[in-house]
Structure 1
């Protein structure tokens, strides 16, 4: 299931099934709630996120800069 979901993401579209399987074994699936903070500007991050469903809102202060959806990553 994870390999199939990753294969639908443009970033991973050119990977072979074998490589998708390898990547899929390395990922953790999370289900954040609305309003959860995933990253903070200016702080060093050590995670990579791919939006599978729903949306992620990118803000600076109270201003919305972008809205990311399925297939987007940050």
Structure 2
């Protein structure tokens, strides 16, 4: 798996893959992640709705910073 991922995190594809990520419901291994991405998934409790909301929040903030968006 490490070789298949080129030694890099399956999410950010920048940092070294150091952690075996698994589904907490099934126990199945998903991929190898870096510390930051692994911790982030844990903090967001693997909830895709919350993860998408966080991504949208960051995109909105970036748009505001670029002067392209309305107030939060």
Structure number with the higher helix fraction is: 2
TM-score where L is the length of structure 2: 0.25
Q: Which entry has the higher C-alpha Rg, 1 or 2?
A: 2
- The structure, 1 or 2, with the larger RCO (C-alpha pairs under 8 Å, 6+ apart) is 1
TM-score where L is the length of structure 1: 0.25
